Amino acid sequence: MLSVYVFVVLGAVLAGFVQGLSGFAFGLTAMSIWAWTLEPQLAAQLAIFGALTGQLVAVFTTRRALQWRLLRPFLLGGLLGVPLGVWLLPLLDAQQFKSVVGAILVVFCPLMLLAPRMPRIQRGGRTGDAISGLLGGVLSGLGGFSGVAPTLWSMMRGLAREEQRAVIQNFNLSVLFVSFSMHVWQGHVTVSMLPFFALVALAVLVPVLLGVRLYRGLSEQAFRRVVLGVLTLSGLGMLLS
């Protein structure tokens, strides 16, 4: 039993740092470690709770950059997608789900990382924002992976680093809160999970702040490499698990 707690703390520390640095990817990073030892339902609830806790700590760093005009379509799509993800979670095979998500990340992110210039999407606009938000909402309900689709889409749209950071963090905070609330309401969160929640909450605080501090010293290009690198490594971890 002690080894399970060690894995929970290790996953939360690493995921908290990555989330503070990149603004998302708590669930992806944590799942690459927790999937080895935790039951899928417990791992999913811890990922959602940990990501929500990390966003509450870090979101205040982006208050000045927030533009509701940019955030609104992402958020509307995300709030529509969350109930679908919560409904699907008990029905999906966890290993197949992780394999599909991991394969997408491992193939797509390195191509973007190695490209001499980021592809820019000229069409789609707010409709594309809403669709990426919808996918993020579904993935949030499934296991706290809310930032993947909106992050990749906003990068391909060419949003500036501060705009992207503000949109993704506030999007994640909103849809993760709704996701966790719905899981609690449907009885997916049990009393036996509470000690794990306490460990995760304590473990993420300092790593998130360290990640935020490091983020402030990154250039636009370095930030892009960090985000895509984090997604690639997370995808590999999910495939290996």
User: How confident is the model over 147-189, as pLDDT tens digits?
Assistant: 878 888 887 887 777 778 778 888 888 899 999 999 899 888 8
Residue-number span of the structural domain to which 138 is assigned:
2-240
pTM of the model: 0.80
Model pLDDT, residue 133: 92
For the chain, give the mean pLDDT: 81
User: What is the C-alpha R_g of the chain?
Assistant: 16
Q: Which contiguous run of DSSP H or E holds residue 117?
A: none
Q: How many domains does the chain have?
A: 1
Quickly state the pLDDT bin for 81 (edges 50, 70, 90).
very high
- pLDDT(143) > 80: no
Model pLDDT, residue 199: 93
Q: Which among 73, 71, 54 has a CA at the least distance from the CA of 180?
A: 54
- The angle that helices 40-58 and 194-215 make with each other, rounded to 10 degrees, is 40
Model pLDDT, residue 74: 93
Model pLDDT, residue 61: 60
Angstrom distance (rounded) from CA 207 to CA 26: 11
Model pLDDT, residue 119: 60
* pLDDT tens-digit readout, 185-212: 988 888 989 999 999 999 998 888 888 7
Model pLDDT, residue 38: 83
